[in-house]
Amino acid sequence: MDNEKNFKPYIPADKIMPEFTFTSIILGALLAVVFGGANAYLGLRVGMTVSASIPAAVVSMGIIRKVLRKNSILENNMVQTIGSAGESLAAGAIFTLPALFMWAQEDSAISAPHFLEIAAITICGGLLGVLFMVPLRTALIVEEHGVLPFPEGTACAEVLLAGEKGGSKSKIVFSGLGISALYKFIADGFCLFNSEADWQVKPLKGAGFGIDVLPALAGVGYICGLQISGYMFAGGVIAWFVLMPLISLFGADAVIVPADKAISMMTTNQVWSSYIRYIGAGAVAAGGIISLIKTLPVIVKTFRKAVQGFGHKETEQLRTNKDLPMLFVLGGALAIAIIIWLMPSVPISFLGALIIVIFGFFFATVSSRMVGLVGSSNNPVSGMAIATLLIATALLKSTGTTGYEGMASAICIGTVICIVAAMAGDTSQDLKTGYIVGATPMSQQIGELFGAVISGFAIGGVMYLLNAAWKFGSNELPAPQASLMKLVVEGVMGGSLPWGLVFCGVGLAVAIEILGLPILPVAIGLYLPIHLSSPIFIGGVIRWFMENKKKCSSEEERKGFVENGVLYSSGLIAGEGLVGIFLAVLAIIPFKDGSVADFINLGGILGNTGSIIFFILLLASLIFFSVQKDKAKV
C-alpha cells in the first residue's frame, strides 16, 4: 500500500543503534514490576487499569539520558515495551483470578490457588498474547498505517521523539509518584484522616454520597478525561440517587431476596451490595456483549487481513521488517497450549486448552484491531472475558465438569483469554510506537515475551500479598471485575443469580445503547460504589479545565499542560499502588496484639473534614504540576 511505501521511520532501517541492551532489559523489567503491581492494586480497587507505556517511556528517558548519559531512542523504546507488559498482565489477572480466592474464603474445603498456579496462568496468557499478535503486525501496523491511529502507541512515539530534544518531563512523573506515596501513607498508613468520606442524604431515604479521597482515583479521572469519567459518575448517580431510593421507597419493611433483612433496616451500602451490584453486573455483561456485536464487521475484516498476511513474503533484509519466525510463533503457541493442558497446578482440560487456542487468537485479533481504532483504554477486555466465561462454563457443564472444579476451570480459561486480549492490545500499541521511531519488531517482540515472564511472577506475588492483607471482595479490595466474573460463572453453573435484577441491568444497558451513549463506562459506574466514581469525575473535570484554559498563549501550550497532567497523574497512580503494596506488607507483619499497620493507625482523628482538606490540596498539586512549562534544551 502507499502508506507503507511512503512512510519513513525516524531511525532509518539501515541504521543500527543500541536497542535490546542490558540496560533496557533491567530497567524495563523493573518498570514492568512497578507498573504491573500498581495497576494490579488499582484494578482491584476500581475495576480498571491505565496504560503504562507513556510513563515508562518518560521514566526511561529520565534515567537513560540524565543519569546514565546515554542517547538512544530505540533503547528508550525497548524499556517502555518491556515495562508496559506488567500493566497488561495485571489487567487480565485481576479481572478474573481473585474469584478463586473468594471461593476459598467462602468454603474452607477449597484451597486458594498457590503462587506457582497464578504465575503459570498469567505467564502462559502473556506469552500467547504476544505470539498471536506477531502474524497480525504487517496487516494492522504496516499496511494500515495512517488508517488505524493507535492513539497510545502514536502518543508514546511523540513523547520519545520529543525526548530527543531534551526536557524535564520525567521530573513530573517522579513528583507525582513521591507526593502520592506520601499522601497514601498518611491516609491509609497513619490513618490521620479517613480515606473515604461518606454522607447520608436524609431527605431522600436510601440515597447516599461518598468520595474516596485518594490520589490514584483523581489520576485515573484526569487520564480518562471528562467524558468517560462523566459517564462513570452518571452511572453512580443513577444507582445511588435513583435506584436505591426507589428500592427503599417500594421495599419498605419487606425482606426481598437476595437480602436477608428488611430493606428499611439496611444501610445504603447494604442496599447497594444486595441489589445494585446485580443490576450493575447485568449492565456490564450486556455492555460487553453489545460492544462485541458492534465490532463484528471489524473482526471479519481483520481476520481476512490476517489470513492474507500469512502469504506475504517477508523482507528480511530490512531491519524494520523482521518479525519472530512463523515457525517459532506456531511452535511456541502449540507448546504453551500443551503445557496449560498438562500442568497439574492449572485446572484446565484438553477441551479448555482448545477453547483457549481458538478464542485466544480470535480475541487477540479483535483486541489488536480495537486498540488501533479507539485505544487501549476503551478496549472491551472485560466483555471478551464475559463472553468466554459464558461459553466455557456452558461447555464444561454440558460435558459433566460441574461444581467447583468446573467453575475454577472456567475462571482459569477466562483468565488466560483475558490476558491474551490485554497483552495483544498492548503489544500492538508498542509495535506501532516502534514502527514510527524505527525499532526492530523482532527485538520488541522478544522484549514483550521477557516482560510477560517477569511480570507474571511479580503479579502473582502482589496478588498473594494483597489478599493476605485485606482479602479480595473486602471494602479495601472490592475486586469489582472479578466479583462480576464470579457471579457469571456461578449463575451459569448453578443457577444462583437473582436473574430478575440482572435482566433489569440488561434493560438499562439496552436503553443506554438506544440513547447512543457508551454502555461500559456508565455500567461500570452503576456497578461500582459512588465513592469511587466521584473522585474519578473530579479528575476528569480538572482535565477539562486544562483543555479549555483560555489564558494559554497557544494551542501547543495548552496541549503541553494536558500532557503534564497525564504524566503527573501516572505518577499519582504508581505512587499509591506501590505504597498500597507496602501497607499490605505491614498488615501481615505481627506486632504486639495485632500488626505493624494496626500499631501506626491513628484512627482517622481528623475525620471527614480532614479528608476533604487534604484532597483539595492534592487536587491543587495536580493543577500546579499541569501548568509547569517544559524547560527544554536549546
Query: DSSP assignment of 157-187, as one string?
Result: HHHHHHHTT---HHHHHHHHHHHHHHHHIII
pLDDT higher than threshold 70 for residue 358: yes
CB 286 within 8 A of CB 510: yes
pLDDT higher than threshold 80 for residue 203: yes
Mean pLDDT on 51-72: 72
Q: Which amino acid is at 300?
A: V
Mean pLDDT on 65-70: 69
Backbone angles phi, psi at 498, to 5 degrees: -75, 85
Share of the chain above pLDDT 90, in %: 16
Q: How confident is the model at residue 514 (pLDDT cuts 50, 70, 90)?
A: very high
Mean pLDDT on 603-627: 91
Q: Convert the pLDDT of each residue in 442-451 to its tens digit.
A: 999 999 999 9
pLDDT higher than threshold 70 for residue 181: yes
Indicate whether 578 belongs to any domain: no
Indicate whether 179 belongs to any domain: no
Mean pLDDT lowest for which of 182-191, 268-277, 365-374, 521-530? 365-374
Indicate whether 273 belongs to any domain: no
Place of cell 483475558: 418
* The three grid cell numbers given for residue 177, joined into one nine-digit string: 509518584
Q: How confident is the model at residue 298 (pLDDT cuts 50, 70, 90)?
A: low
Domain membership of residue 480 as a residue range: 2-164+290-375+385-493
Which alpha helices (DSSP H) does 142-274 contain, by range?
A: 151-163, 169-184, 215-238, 244-251, 268-271
pLDDT higher than threshold 70 for residue 525: yes
Mean pLDDT on 510-539: 86
Give the per-residue pLDDT at 370: 67
**Which DSSP letter does residue 377 get?**
G
Give the per-residue pLDDT at 52: 67
Q: How confident is the model at residue 620 (pLDDT cuts 50, 70, 90)?
A: very high
- Residue 212: strand pairing partners: 196
Place of cell 532489559: 25
Q: How confident is the model at residue 124 (pLDDT cuts 50, 70, 90)?
A: very high
Give the per-residue pLDDT at 196: 85
Mean pLDDT on 54-74: 74
Indicate whether 530 belongs to any domain: no
Mean pLDDT on 149-177: 72
Mean pLDDT on 211-231: 86
Place of cell 519466525: 325
Mean pLDDT on 557-574: 82
Q: How confident is the model at residue 374 (pLDDT cuts 50, 70, 90)?
A: low
Mean pLDDT on 55-78: 77
Comparing 306 with 113, the larger pLDDT belongs to 113
Q: How far apart are CA 329 and CA 131, in angstroms?
A: 6
Query: CB neighbours of 383 closer than 8 A, spacing ≥ 6?
Result: 285, 287, 288, 289, 291, 292, 520
* The three grid cell numbers given for residue 273, joined into one nine-digit string: 451490595
| Ramachandran region, residue 112 (left: φ > 0; alpha: ψ -120 to 50; beta: rest) | beta
CB 292 within 8 A of CB 359: no
Give the per-residue pLDDT at 500: 86
Cβ count near 517 (within 10 Å): 12
Indicate whether 200 belongs to any domain: no
pLDDT higher than threshold 60 for residue 633: no
Which alpha helices (DSSP H) does 107-168 contain, by range?
A: 115-133, 137, 151-163
Indicate whether 180 belongs to any domain: no
CB 584 within 8 A of CB 470: yes
CB 134 within 8 A of CB 324: yes
Query: CB neighbours of 337 closer than 8 A, spacing ≥ 6?
Result: 128, 353, 354, 356, 357
Give the per-residue pLDDT at 463: 87
Q: How far apart are CA 37 and CA 403, in angstroms?
A: 32
Give the per-residue pLDDT at 265: 87
Do strands 590-591 and 208-212 pair parallel, antiparallel, or not at all (unpaired)? unpaired
Does residue 269 sit in helix, strand or coil? helix
CB 573 within 8 A of CB 179: no
Q: Which amino acid is at 180?
A: S
Comparing 235 with 58, the larger pLDDT belongs to 235
Angle of helix 403-437 versus helix 73-83 axis, rounded to 10: 170
pLDDT higher than threshold 70 for residue 156: yes
Angle of helix 115-133 versus helix 403-437 axis, rounded to 10: 40
* Rounded-to-5 percentages of helix, strand, coil across the chain: 75, 5, 25
Comparing 52 with 525, the larger pLDDT belongs to 525
Q: Which amino acid is at 489?
A: V
Mean pLDDT on 139-148: 75
Indicate whether 498 belongs to any domain: no
- Residue 209: strand pairing partners: 199
Angle of helix 53-61 versus helix 73-83 axis, rounded to 10: 140
Share of the chain above pLDDT 70, in %: 87
| Ramachandran region, residue 516 (left: φ > 0; alpha: ψ -120 to 50; beta: rest) | left
Q: Convert the pLDDT of each residue in 593-608 to its tens digit.
A: 777 878 888 888 888 8
Angle at 629 between CA 625 and CA 630, to 5 degrees: 105
pLDDT higher than threshold 80 for residue 202: yes
pLDDT higher than threshold 50 for residue 632: no
Give the per-residue pLDDT at 631: 56
**Nearest partner of 469 among 578, 580, 585, 582, judged by Cα:** 585
Indicate whether 369 belongs to any domain: yes
Instruction: Tell me the C-alpha to C-alpha distance, in Å, between residue 548 and each of 46, 563, 621.
Output: 28, 14, 19
Question: Measured on CA atoms in the order 431, 432, 437, 441, is the torsion positive or negative?
Answer: positive
Burial 39-48 (b: 16+ CB within 10 A, else e): bbbbbbbbbb
**Which DSSP letter does residue 112 get?**
P
CB 302 within 8 A of CB 140: yes
pLDDT higher than threshold 90 for residue 164: no
Mean pLDDT lowest for which of 283-297, 330-344, 593-607? 283-297
Mean pLDDT on 569-581: 77
- Residue 129: strand pairing partners: none
Give the per-residue pLDDT at 1: 40
* The three grid cell numbers given for residue 475, joined into one nine-digit string: 471494602
Mean pLDDT on 125-147: 84
Q: Convert the pLDDT of each residue in 384-431 to its tens digit.
A: 777 778 788 888 888 888 888 888 888 888 889 889 988 998 899 899
Count up the domains in the chain and report the number: 1
> Where is mean pLDDT largest: 175-179, 317-321, 389-393, 539-543?
539-543
Q: How confident is the model at residue 228 (pLDDT cuts 50, 70, 90)?
A: confident
pLDDT higher than threshold 80 for residue 154: no
Q: How far apart are CA 464 and CA 125, in angstroms?
A: 19
Give the per-residue pLDDT at 315: 44
Q: How far apart are CA 581 and CA 117, in angstroms?
A: 21
